[in-house]
């Protein structure tokens, strides 16, 4: 437990030193309400940025949804994702009944956790938001009681872009928008488009 707490403190300190990241609560405030924080994705540092700017009480109950093929590779990554971040590891390959990511996310929510999720499904260039994968729709369908909060991460793609092993010190910001929920009778395409627009509006506010 001491090792995990020390590693968490080091990660938070490093992220704040490198990026100066601060939370900007634009559409909501920090709350103990159970949430899914969904964000744009352009860097492996993205969920660490969100996690690090949350108040301590919220951080301790918030788990990132992360790619198992990346975070299970190597002892250090496994230690960080399993014991420090308590991540929900999912497969990015073919979805099968026994490895359904929605089942894993719903189990984490049932335990009382909040989640950090990247609906684009993969890292982008940082210049635009890619179309959302359907997973967030199925999660909202299964757990309509949980708030979906758009989180716009600015500049992280320059801090740790694809192909770069070491982060570059640059200022970043993390903006939290207005909570969303699946509306009665709303179809998947409409819902995904609305969530994507809410995310982009959070970044432009």
pLDDT at 92 over 60: yes
Q: Residue 19 — very low, low, confident or very high, per pLDDT cuts 50/70/90?
A: confident
Quote the pLDDT of residue 158: 53
Percent of the chain surpassing pLDDT 90: 60
The string of pLDDT tens digits covering residues 185-197 is: 999 999 999 999 9
Backbone angles phi, psi at 71, to 5 degrees: -80, -15
Reported pTM: 0.90
pLDDT at 155 over 80: no
Q: Which residue has the tokens 């432009």?
A: 204
pLDDT at 71 over 60: yes
Q: How far apart are CA 31 and CA 46, in angstroms?
A: 21
Contacts 24+ apart (CB under 8 A), 95-99: none
3-state secondary structure 151-204: EEEECHHHHCCCCCCCCCCCCCEEEECCCECCCCCCCHHHHHHHHHHHHHHHHH
Structure tokens, 84: 């420090």
Residue 105 or 91, more confident: 105
pLDDT at 160 over 60: no
User: Average pLDDT, stretch 76-92?
Assistant: 90
Instruction: Write down the mean pLDDT value for the chain.
Output: 87
Quote the pLDDT of residue 22: 85
Domains of the chain listed by start with CATH number:
2-204 (3.40.1130.10)
Q: How far apart are CA 78 and CA 32, in angstroms?
A: 28
Q: Which residue has the tokens 């420090």?
A: 84
Q: How far apart are CA 165 and CA 134, in angstroms?
A: 30
Q: How far apart are CA 68 and CA 197, in angstroms?
A: 28
Structure tokens, 184: 């009665």
Quote the pLDDT of residue 93: 60
Q: How far apart are CA 108 and CA 33, in angstroms?
A: 15
């Amino acid at each position: 437990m001491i090792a995990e707490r020390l590693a968490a403190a080091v990660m938070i300190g490093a992220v704040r030193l490198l990026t100066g990241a601060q939370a900007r609560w634009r559409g909501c405030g920090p709350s103990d309400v159970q949430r899914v924080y969904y964000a744009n994705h352009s860097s492996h540092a993205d969920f660490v940025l969100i996690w690090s700017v949350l108040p301590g009480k919220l951080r301790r109950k918030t788990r990132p949804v992360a790619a198992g093929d990346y975070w299970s590779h190597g002892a250090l990554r496994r230690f960080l994702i399993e014991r420090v971040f308590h991540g929900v590891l999912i497969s990015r390959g073919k979805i099968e009944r026994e490895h359904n990511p929605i089942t894993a996310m719903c189990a984490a929510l049932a335990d009382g956790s909040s989640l950090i999720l990247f609906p684009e499904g993969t890292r982008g260039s940082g210049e635009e938001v890619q179309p959302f994968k359907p997973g967030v729709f199925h999660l909202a369908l299964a757990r309509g009681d949980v708030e979906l909060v758009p989180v716009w991460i600015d500049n992280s793609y320059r801090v740790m872009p694809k192909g770069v092993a070491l982060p570059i010190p640059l200022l970043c910001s993390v903006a939290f928008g207005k909570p969303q929920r699946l509306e009665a009778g709303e179809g998947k395409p409409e819902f995904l488009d609305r969530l994507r627009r809410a995310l982009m509006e959070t970044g432009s506010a």
